[in-house]
């Protein structure tokens, strides 16, 4: 709930700032990731706000929502990322490649189902565990310009979290300039 309120406040502040700045854009994406501490593949939905600092650097805030597709070990998560991107190549008119690094905070609910049979009686129990690790991001992203105000992109990322938790994924994104 706290993250949702912060997200709404961020939207309001960015929409009022966007009228005076041409350096903001909003990206949405969908993708998949694999967290090596949990069972299954996670489906991610991403919202990203970018602020172009200059021709070489962009700062970005990202909020991801997701869940795993697994049989026994289900996870649901909200992830907050704060990244800084660098554009290593001169930007041609058709695409933009950027490399990023930053900080990540994960709010994760792990739900494990246990099935037992004792004396011919079947029982099922569910164990819920909440974890809140912090981590580092490494990101490679390429955007292809569709028009002066919209892009389509591909993002590959790795996230190294505390508790020896590693997340690797790919995301397909589209963006509009605010």
Q: Is residue 11 part of a domain?
A: no
Neighbouring-strand partners of residue 153: 143, 173
Q: Is residue 38 part of a domain?
A: yes
What integer pLDDT is reported at residue 89 of this predicted model? 83
Contact 73, 38 (CB under 8 A): yes
| pLDDT score of 20 | 44
What pLDDT score does 162 carry? 86
Residue 163 domain-assigned (yes or no): yes
| CATH code for the domain in which residue 150 is found | 2.40.160.20
Query: Is 1 a domain residue?
Result: no
Q: Does a structural domain hold residue 165?
A: yes
Which tokens sit at 90? 């001169």
Element (H, E) at 6: helix 2-18
Q: Does the residue 114 lie in any domain?
A: yes
Total count of domains within the chain: 1
Which residues, given as ranges, of the chain have pLDDT below 50? 14-20
Q: Is 9 among the domain residues?
A: no
108 inside domain: yes
Cα 135–Cα 140–Cα 142 angle in degrees, nearest 5: 145
Q: In terms of residue numbers, what domain contains 29? A: 25-177
- Based on the number of CB atoms within 10 Å of its own CB, is 85 exposed (0-12), middle (13-18) or buried (19 or more)? buried
pLDDT for the residue 82: 97
DSSP state, residue 77: E
């Amino acid at each position: 709930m706290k993250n949702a309120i912060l997200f709404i406040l961020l939207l309001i502040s960015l929409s009022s700032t966007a009228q005076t700045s041409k350096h903001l854009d909003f990206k949405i994406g969908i993708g998949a990731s694999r967290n090596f501490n949990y069972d299954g593949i996670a489906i991610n939905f991403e919202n990203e706000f970018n602020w172009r600092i200059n021709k070489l650097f962009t700062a970005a805030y990202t909020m991801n929502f997701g869940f795993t597709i697994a049989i026994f070990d289900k996870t649901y998560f909200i992830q907050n990322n704060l990244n800084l991107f660098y554009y290593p190549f001169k930007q041609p008119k058709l695409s933009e490649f950027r490399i990023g690094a930053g900080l990540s905070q994960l709010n994760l609910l792990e739900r494990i189902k246990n099935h037992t049979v004792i004396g011919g009686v079947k029982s099922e129990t569910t164990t819920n565990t909440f974890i809140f690790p912090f981590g580092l991001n490494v990101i490679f992203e390429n955007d292809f310009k569709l028009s002066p105000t919209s892009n389509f992109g591909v993002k590959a990322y790795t996230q190294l979290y505390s508790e020896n938790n590693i997340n690797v994924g790919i995301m397909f994104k589209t963006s509009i300039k605010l």
